[in-house]
Amino acid sequence: MHFMTLARQADDPILAMGAAFSADARTRKLDLGIGVYRDEYGRTPVMRAVKEAEDRLLRGQPTKSYLGVEGDREFLAALEPVVLGDERSDHALASIQTVGGTGALRLAADLLALEKPDRTVWFGAPSWSNHGALFAAAGLAVRTYRYLDPLSQQIDEVAFGEALEAAREGDVFVLHGCCHNPTGVDASAAQWRSIGRALARRNLLPLVDFAYHGLGQGLEADRAGLRILLEGVPSALVAYSCSKNFALYRERAGALFVVGQRPGVELAASNLTALARANYSMPPDHGAAVVRTILHSDELSAMWSAELDAMRGRVRRLRALLAGEGRIGPVDLGRLATQHGFFSSLELAPADVARLREDHGVYVVPSGRINIAGLREEQVRPFAAALRAVLA
């Protein structure tokens, strides 16, 4: 018998919750789990700009022949100023299209492990629940430090400073570009500046996970932290996802950018190509082709950014409505108005999470993370009422 020595793996907490929600027969239920945007009708629509780009691709695409290991170079060239801004820095740059943002992180992890197998990857906890598994799967050691000070609900700069001092030269720090997952608490401009200085001083490498661009405060404001960071560090990796801001989730459109100096950047690019070839050979075409078609057209770009603005506006409105519900037991919803993006973390014990689900059909991730973009405005009050019933 084969495979008998394998241990059974725990379900992914986010994906398992989605399956449990679908299996729940109740009609009054609320899914605040996986990070997917829903509109006021509870749908996750295909963006109009995407539909239009798909129409154009359907009519005009001349071939389905292979694109190459790096994927769609025109997609990468069009995406670069969106991600990094128009002004060029002195850095050299390389990029590769990836299988979504997760694929970008994993390819980065494989590169990091190849270059220096004994390095450690550090990130603030809590973080996206897949971060730990992803870097461990690439064979890298993972260590965490406390991301938030629970009292102030601000970034715990002391814990970050201690992690910096404990790290060894060449270690990697995973930073969230914007819309921190799961807390919604982002670094200020001053904090980005001092993070960059500290990383450079200790010769540590930032890996920026940039998955919610445009969904916090806007495209420009959301990349401001990354730009400040890049001013202060010699090198960085940026894992970018088009899943949320182009609502292309299942198409797996993403990219990995290597920012640094020659010839290191070229060596990184050559190794990324070899790693991708030995793994999945080439990324899927369609999502990237859609993004490229949108970004190449002024008309479609304007349509896309207006749709993105509307999505962000809805999330911000929901945040304001939730904040209006004030404090409920240990949970201060008021602070949600100053946080950004789809997620915030509520102080919910496992028993609270279970009661929300069992008694009220409200599904939140076991850590207490809620996906605000999954709410409709009319659901804010019932959600707060369920919280009150559980926490009061």
CB of 315 to ligand LMR, least distance (A): 14
Closest to ligand LMR by CB, 98 or 181? 181
CB of 128 to ligand LMR, least distance (A): 5
246 is a contact residue toward ligand LMR (CB under 6 A): no
20 is a contact residue toward ligand LMR (CB under 6 A): no
User: Is there a catalytic annotation at residue 244?
Assistant: yes
34 is a contact residue toward ligand LMR (CB under 6 A): yes
Closest to ligand LMR by CB, 16 or 92? 16
Q: How many residues bind ligand LMR (CB under 6 A)?
A: 6
| The only residue of 97, 127, 181, 245 in contact with ligand LMR, by rule CB under 6 A | 181
x/- mask, ligand LMR, residues 96-135, rule CB under 6 A, reads: --------------------------------x-x-----
x/- mask, ligand LMR, residues 287-306, rule CB under 6 A, reads: --------------------
User: What's CA 360's distance to the chain center, in Å?
Assistant: 29
DSSP-based three-state secondary structure for 13: helix
Catalytic residue among 94, 187, 211, 236: 211
Catalytic residue among 49, 187, 244, 247: 244
> Strand ranges (DSSP E) for the chain?
30-32, 92-99, 120-125, 141-146, 148-149, 154-155, 172-176, 205-210, 236-241, 253-260, 327-328, 331-332, 343-345, 362-364, 369-371
What is the sign of the dihedral through the CA atoms of 226, 230, 232 and 236? positive
Residue 123's DSSP bridge partners are 144, 174
Closest to ligand LMR by CB, 235 or 371? 371
Catalytic residue among 122, 128, 192, 304: 128
User: Is there a catalytic annotation at residue 255?
Assistant: no
Residue 210's DSSP bridge partners are 240
Closest to ligand LMR by CB, 244 or 319? 244
Strands 253-260 and 327-328: unpaired
CB of 371 to ligand LMR, least distance (A): 7
Q: At what angle do helices 189-201 and 219-232 cross, to 10 degrees?
A: 30
**209 is written with which tokens?**
């996970």
**297 is written with which tokens?**
């057209």
User: What's CA 352's distance to the chain center, in Å?
Assistant: 26
Burial tier of 359 (Cβ tally within 10 Å: 0-12, 13-18, 19+): exposed
Closest CA to 219 of 125, 305, 120: 305
The length of the chain in residues reads 392
Return the residue nearest ligand LMR (CB atom): 35
Closest to ligand LMR by CB, 132 or 324? 132
User: Is there a catalytic annotation at residue 209?
Assistant: yes
DSSP-based three-state secondary structure for 331: strand
| The only residue of 14, 121, 148, 336 in contact with ligand LMR, by rule CB under 6 A | 14
Closest to ligand LMR by CB, 120 or 127? 127
CB of 182 to ligand LMR, least distance (A): 7
Q: How many CA atoms lie within 13 A of 317 on its CB side?
A: 14
379 is a contact residue toward ligand LMR (CB under 6 A): no
35 is a contact residue toward ligand LMR (CB under 6 A): yes
Catalogue the active-site residues.
128, 209, 211, 244
Binding residues vs ligand LMR (CB under 6 A): 14, 34-35, 128, 130, 181
